[in-house]
Structure 1
Amino acid sequence: MSISSSHPTAGKSISLLRLDERSTGFKTGAVIVGTLFLALSSQIEVPMVPVPVTMQTFAVTLVGALFGARLGALTVLAWLGEAMLGLPVLAGGAGGIVHFTGPTAGYLAAFPVMAAMVGFLAGRGWDAHRPLLAFASMLAANALCLLMGAAWLSSLIGVEKAITFGVTPFFLGAILKSALGAASLVALHRASSKARRS
């Protein structure tokens, strides 16, 4: 069945990879691959204080769009679980429970919500067939991440500093990473369509 043969109906989220139709073993493998992708993306960073700029949000939104709301969020939660266990899967090869109580805690808490949000919207047509809507969904998810991150950060350093250091520096990056995510989604869709035709 082609990806474009049907669009999801109300209450049902269908991912670009149609993972809902796959076996449990395939889904498990997808989660493992997804956590590896998230971990690798976290290593691409620009050190900043108190929160570094990374490719994490790009990876989180792309996982949501590809995997769908439920499995996308589950994949991100599995990756965060690895981090809690101390595996070096966060920015700069970091890991450990301390990162879930420090300055980055709000952003980390937002990640599974971001994946679920993008996956939900992708399952309702905000996908590779409509790149501008895919971009909008990813940008909205990034905005939500900044909001949640700043809310937590403000409890540590105050509202004004949280906005100055935890929101403003990330505006441009959020736009660029959302555009890259939408472009990647379209490219993957075209590649999969071409592979099915060959």
Structure 2
Amino acid sequence: MTDLVLARPFSPLQPRSRSLAWQAAAVLVGTLLLALSSQIKVPMVPVPMTMQTFAVTLIGALYGWRLGAVTVIAWLLEGAAGLPVFAGATGGLRYIVGPTGGYLMAFPFAAALTGFLAERGWNGRRVGLATLSMLLGNGLCLVLGTAWLATFIGVEKAIALGAMPFILGAILKSALAAATLKAFAPRG
């Protein structure tokens, strides 16, 4: 089992071997991808379903845990500063401390988790493990986000409105992210 999980790890973009300028550019590209994915949404109450977790988990898997988390934190800082990078082209601290704050603050941890697992072989070479990695990242966002949302609307309502409606989307986005990651996997 250890060989299956840890064999032949790769980081398709090899960020650790790149210059600081390349890494800074990667962060910029990642924050743009996140900002764009935030605008693809299905309106739901109290939290819209977006393609953010698709981008978060994919960035983690492509960039690795360190640069992936840094990229998502940079995006959060952009949003906190008021740039319109969150869902609905919004920004500001109120989104981070409001009902959606738990989901947003979970994103760097999800990127780090998927990046950590990808660096250990849960990557595009093994689509099943990559999908599981993406599911774990999405699940972490749902758990942390729902826990934060519960402080606003109560546990039962938070689970009913902030977790359950998003499970199918999390599964689909995880499969799509893993398939996208496979496109970056070296052949052979």
Task: Please state which band the TM-score falls in when normalised by the shorter chain.
Answer: over 0.9
Cα shift at 1:136: 0.1
Letter in 1 for 2:149: L
Contact 1:16-1:68 within 8 A present in 2 as well: no
Structure 2 SS opposite 1:151: helix
State the match for 1:138 in structure 2: 134
Structure 1 SS opposite 2:23: helix
Structure 1 runs of 4+ with >6 Å offset: none
1:127 aligns with 2:128: no
Aligned counterparts of 2:115 and 2:130: Cα–Cα separation in 1: 10
State the match for 2:45 in structure 1: 49
Aligned counterparts of 2:88 and 2:43: Cα–Cα separation in 1: 9
Aligned counterparts of 1:15 and 1:189: Cα–Cα separation in 2: 9
Aligned counterparts of 1:7 and 1:77: Cα–Cα separation in 2: 29
Aligned residues: CA RMSD: 1.4
Which structure 1 residue ranges, 5 or more long, are not aligned?
A: 1-5, 9-13
Aligned counterparts of 1:83 and 1:7: Cα–Cα separation in 2: 37
State the match for 1:179 in structure 2: 175
Structure 1 SS opposite 2:102: helix
1:102 aligns with 2:111: no
Letter in 1 for 2:124: A
Which structure 2 residue ranges, 5 or more long, are not aligned?
A: 1-6
1:118 aligns with 2:114: yes
Please, which of 146, 153, 163 is the counterpart of residue 150 of structure 1? 146
Cα shift at 1:101: 1.0
Alignment of 1:4-15 (within 5 A): 7-8=8-9, 15=11
Cα shift at 1:58: 0.1
Between Structure 1 and Structure 2, how many residues are aligned?
182
Identity %: 61
Aligned counterparts of 2:120 and 2:148: Cα–Cα separation in 1: 31
Cα shift at 1:16: 1.9
Cα shift at 1:15: 2.4
State the match for 2:24 in structure 1: 28
Letter in 2 for 1:97: L
Letter in 2 for 1:135: T
State the match for 2:56 in structure 1: 60
Contact 1:128-1:186 within 8 A present in 2 as well: yes
Cα shift at 1:32: 0.5
Letter in 2 for 1:37: L
